[in-house]
Amino acid sequence: MTASPGPWSDLDRPPLRERALRQALAGPGGPWTRLDVTPRTGSTNADLAAAARAGDARPGTVLIAEEQHSGRGRLDRAWSAPPRSGLFFSVLLRPAPAVPDERVGWLPLLAGVAAATALARAAGVDTSLKWPNDVLVAVGGEERKLGGILAERVADGAVVLGIGLNVSLRAEELPVPAAGSLLLAGAVSTDRDPLLRAVLRSLADWYERWTEAGGDPVASGLIDAYAAGCSTLGRRVRAELPGGGELRGVAAALDAEGRLVIEGDDGGRHEVAAADIIHLRPT
């Protein structure tokens, strides 16, 4: 039987300093109520959702994995990454009753703004957002997917928000050619501890601002921040719709519920709540 590589098997990828992270983020005055780091799991979203349903986790809990081997994205797509090569974590939130149900769909977009702005400052890279839930960086002049966000509702109005971000993936480790990492984007640092602190503090700040505004994307400044950082808006896109259809046109705006408004080649104006968006080259 072959032993699993230890946490110090790759010196470029040291383990997270759990105690220091907990003191900084979940201690007295910290923005989160609890923080745990697990060496390896299938999915932090699945684990935290199960804990919430069992009553073993309360809002403000953060669960981080050094390795996630069965992570899920939108449409139940699976993905994995080498141990300690990224930031893989989930947080438990309960926006109700402050935020009405019809505004909860803004949470993944809020997380995108929080992650993109935090990484731009802490890692010194240019970031952008692809609607609805991708964080992008430039690698060799091309847009690459740095990470993704997945929100899942659980019991009693709670939401598990999962974020996965590639930090130190090398070119030969990329799961698909369209993927990227902070390392490949020329980040000034790939030290995951300060990067994680920056993202979690940014997420807490945006969440507080949004909930205090009753989830209003205008009053909280969220819609303006998302639009300013979104590389989808103003672009020609192909929207691959649930169920198999597709729509082509220009991504013109976001509506009050966070849906993408596409001015279609068919002359219609379409509000898209869920789709895979492909950025098309100008014709």
Q: Are residues 177 and 275 in the same domain?
A: no
pLDDT of 73: 52
- Spatial CB neighbours of 122, under 8 Å, sequence gap ≥ 6: 189, 194, 195, 198, 199
Range of the domain at 264: 232-279
Find out whether the peptide bond into 132 is cis, omega within 30 degrees of 0.
yes
Task: Give whichever of 65-74, 78-87, 245-254 has the largest mean pLDDT.
Answer: 245-254
Question: From CA 222, how far away is CA 224, in angstroms rounded?
Answer: 5
DSSP one-letter code for 202: H
Q: Are residues 219 and 174 in the same domain?
A: yes
Mean pLDDT, rounded, for 26-50 = 95
2 located within any domain: no
Q: Give the torsion through C-alpha atoms of 56, 58, 63, 68, to 10 deg.
A: 60
Beta strands in 41-141 (DSSP E): 61-65, 71-72, 78-79, 86-93, 127-130, 134-139
Dump pLDDT digits (tens) for 184-240: 999 999 999 999 999 999 999 999 999 999 999 999 999 999 999 999 999 999 999
Number of domains observed in the structure of the chain: 2
Per-residue pLDDT band for 2 (boundaries 50, 70, 90) equals very low
Question: From CA 149, how far away is CA 133, in angstroms rounded?
Answer: 5
Q: Find how far residue 201's CA is from the centre of its chain.
A: 14
Q: Are residues 96 and 219 in the same domain?
A: yes
Q: Are residues 62 and 181 in the same domain?
A: yes
- Spatial CB neighbours of 257, under 8 Å, sequence gap ≥ 6: 102, 103, 105, 106, 273
pLDDT of 43: 95
Contact predicate 146/165, CB 8 Å = yes
Give the domain-ending residue among 188, 204, 228.
228
Per-residue pLDDT band for 71 (boundaries 50, 70, 90) equals low
Dump pLDDT digits (tens) for 92-142: 999 999 999 999 999 999 999 999 999 999 999 999 999 999 999 999 999
Q: Are residues 104 and 241 in the same domain?
A: no
Q: Are residues 154 and 254 in the same domain?
A: no
Q: Find how far residue 47's CA is from the centre of its chain.
A: 17
Q: Are residues 148 and 86 in the same domain?
A: yes
pLDDT of 35: 98
Question: From CA 169, how far away is CA 182, in angstroms rounded?
Answer: 8
Q: Are residues 35 and 95 in the same domain?
A: yes
Q: Is the pLDDT of residue 261 over 50?
A: yes
pLDDT of 78: 57
More confident: 161 or 72? 161
Q: Is the pLDDT of residue 76 over 70?
A: no
Q: Are residues 110 and 76 in the same domain?
A: yes
CATH code of the domain containing 164: 3.30.930.10
pLDDT of 12: 83
pLDDT of 3: 44
Q: Could you tell me the two tokens for 60?
A: 């403000």
In the chain, the percentage of residues whose pLDDT exceeds 70 is 93
Q: Are residues 192 and 254 in the same domain?
A: no
Dump pLDDT digits (tens) for 162-189: 999 999 999 999 999 999 999 999 999 9
Nearest residue to 209 via CA among 77, 271, 117: 117
Mean pLDDT, rounded, for 23-43 = 95
125 located within any domain: yes
pLDDT of 281: 85
Dump pLDDT digits (tens) for 142-156: 999 999 999 999 988
Beta strands in the chain (DSSP E): 34-38, 61-65, 71-72, 78-79, 86-93, 127-130, 134-139, 142-153, 159-166, 236-240, 246-254, 260-264, 269-272, 276-279
Q: Is the pLDDT of residue 75 over 60?
A: no
In this structure, the number of other CB atoms found within 10 A of the CB of residue 239 comes to: 21
